[in-house]
Amino acid sequence: MKCVIGMLLLAFVRAEVLRIGVHPRESAAIGAAVLAIDQAKKDGLLPGWTIKVTMSATECVTKQTVAAAIRLYSFGRGDAFIGAVCSEECVALANYLGHWNMAFVAEGCASVDPRMKSTYRTFIGLNPPRRRMGPIFVQVFRQYQWRQAVMIAADNGCSQQAWLIREALMDDGVEIAEFQRLPEYVNNKRVLAESLEKLRARGRILLFCFQTPDDTFDFLLEALAKGMLTKEFAFVTYWFHPATSRRAPWDYTTRTFSKEEVKLFKKAYASVKFVTPETFDDQSSSEFQKQVMQQNLQVLNISTGKPPSRSVNLYDGTYLYLNRVHEAYTRGIDFRNGSLIFDLSRGAKFKGVMGEVVMDEEADRDPVYVMWDYRPDWSAMHSYATVRQVLSEAPHELGLITCNLMKVVNFTRETYWTEENNTVPPMDSPSCSLGQCFQDRRRDHFVRITIGISLPCLAVLVLAWTICIKRAQHNLLKSNWKIPADDLIHSPHVKSTITTSMLGSTLASSGGYLADSRITAIYQNTQVCLHPLNSRRLTFNQAELTRIMR
């Protein structure tokens, strides 16, 4: 009798039906969800359950995405919506699904306002939020001891992320000497050339981001032509997911370029670093793509091209949801309650495509970020460092404060900063004090030579040095310089104490001279000490320089 009752109970347990809507951006990614469901069955999750899945591609059209959600809710009361990439559709879905208390596992939605989480507690994110990139860059800047940078970004996705990075760096005390926001699609070499001129005059660490590979192509070729892709500058780009179009942009341009131009582009890209959330290596990526394409053809009877890199999130999101439903059912919790699935996803850990996936306290993927570099003989960028979060209870080897979540840079191999195989990272603009304005303080400009020297030799060297200084001063006094004031970039301490209005009023009261102030500035990427003579143009002649040098 007990055996019969047990079999009846088991049959009752296995009669559960789960209804899922899988709606990625591209139909090529749908097979990733099928793979995740198969893997969940192999792992013993939800044995005997009937899993009903509706599938369609939304193409980031909000109306299509919302319509798919309404159909899922209206016909049979769906239990979860998995997919969605673009922020607009994600915001709309969060409102609908939150009101219905249906679990929403997002494939993308990296830029959605985090306040949505506090309003609708059913929104689970498998793509790391864009706001995470800011703290990552803070750690990267600390690692390389950079305290100044310039930024340029195209409108839309690039500029949204650029603002978050800018705010995080400024909060950490980094000076953003120039921030330029260009149209979403620039397609104008003259505009890029003018932007580069301003950026070159204001800093050495350049963070850039363009929407299209074509604009990246034009931008870097202009930088190469201007001689900026050297050990003097660092070019760093970023994106909120590890898109292949940014790891090998020459394969994704829409314009036709000659072989020589592509060769120059690859040469220029050897000076670029790329920061992105973690992805798997090229071999694993190729194997996963083949599996997804096979599922698309055999199970779904659709023939597609290669699935996008985001299909990893679709796989992980589907598996996470099934894993949490299994956990809820085991605990006797209502697995159809989207808010409870959200709570169970906080801090969850499971095995995804790339390895262990960890969710944070807001049910967002806790990411590992990767730094990539490139060499001209490679087909695409390779990773050389990771930036991850760890909880440490003892002093870390990098000297970071303990007992907090900390970003730690871990180098897996040595990287080159220019195509000349230079391994020394560029320095940001050095400070310039009086008496040091014409001295380049970069470490890699010094060659240490051990010399045994006597006092008479030392006296001769001092005398020779004095003669050189006097000769330089004499040549300087004979010069007549006319420099546009707009080309001068003042140091932070000067900018904080001398504003344009103060400068104008002081000049007016002193006959056009600032009699008792010397200003440290950058002119054409060179540290100089200047004395402003008027607010519109700076004119130096022998008499005025004599006045300044006193």
Do the Cβ atoms of 16 and 46 come closer than 8 Å?
yes
- The CATH architecture one would assign to domain 131-239+243-277+369-411 is 3-Layer(aba) Sandwich (3.40)
The pLDDT mean for the chain works out to 76
Q: Is the per-residue pLDDT at 535 higher than 50?
A: no
Which of 58, 245, 228 is closest to 157 using CA atoms? Answer: 245
Pair type for strands 123-125 and 103-106 = parallel
Provide the pLDDT for residue 365: 86
* Tokens 């749908």 sit on residue: 30
| Residue ranges of the chain assigned to CATH 3.40.50.2300 | 2-128+282-358, 131-239+243-277+369-411
Query: Binning pLDDT at 50, 70 and 90, where does residue 320 land?
Result: very high
Structure confidence by residue, pLDDT tens digits, 452-500: 445 777 777 788 878 877 776 666 555 545 555 555 554 444 433 333 3
Structure confidence by residue, pLDDT tens digits, 74-121: 877 789 999 988 888 888 888 889 889 999 999 888 776 666 777 778
213 vs 505 pLDDT, higher one: 213
Which of 454, 263, 504 is closest to 376 using CA atoms? Answer: 263
Provide the pLDDT for residue 206: 95
Q: Is the per-residue pLDDT at 3 higher than 80?
A: no
Which of 235, 201, 225, 209 is closest to 152 using CA atoms? Answer: 209
Length of the chain: 550
| 408/329 Cα distance (integer angstroms) | 37
Beta bridge partners of residue 153, listed in sequence order: 181, 209
165 vs 473 pLDDT, higher one: 165
Q: Is the per-residue pLDDT at 518 higher than 60?
A: no
Pair type for strands 50-55 and 80-83 = unpaired
- Alpha helix locations (H) across 204-332? 213-225, 244-247, 259-269, 282-298, 311-331
| 212/222 Cα distance (integer angstroms) | 16
- Please report, rounded to a whole number, the percentage of residues in the chain having pLDDT higher than 90: 26
Query: 156-183 burial, b for 16+ CB within 10 Å, e for fewer?
Result: ebbbbbbbbbbebbeeeebbbbbbbebe
Q: Taking residues 419-443, report their average pLDDT.
A: 55
Structure confidence by residue, pLDDT tens digits, 26-67: 888 888 899 999 999 999 998 889 988 888 888 888 888 999
| 172/178 Cα distance (integer angstroms) | 17
Per CATH, which fold does 2-128+282-358 belong to?
A: Rossmann fold (3.40.50)
477 vs 17 pLDDT, higher one: 17
Q: Taking residues 146-154, report their average pLDDT.
A: 94
| 521/209 Cα distance (integer angstroms) | 27
Burial of residue 425 (CB within 10 Å: 0-12, 13-18, 19+) is: middle
Query: 358-381 burial, b for 16+ CB within 10 Å, e for fewer?
Result: ebbebbbbbbbbbbbbbeeeeeeb
Q: Is the per-residue pLDDT at 445 higher than 70?
A: no
Provide the pLDDT for residue 291: 86
Structure confidence by residue, pLDDT tens digits, 207-256: 999 989 999 999 999 999 888 888 889 999 998 877 778 888 998 888 88
Do the Cβ atoms of 250 and 213 come closer than 8 Å?
yes
Structure confidence by residue, pLDDT tens digits, 64-85: 899 999 998 887 778 999 998 8
Predicted TM-score (pTM) of the model is: 0.66
- DSSP tag of 331: H
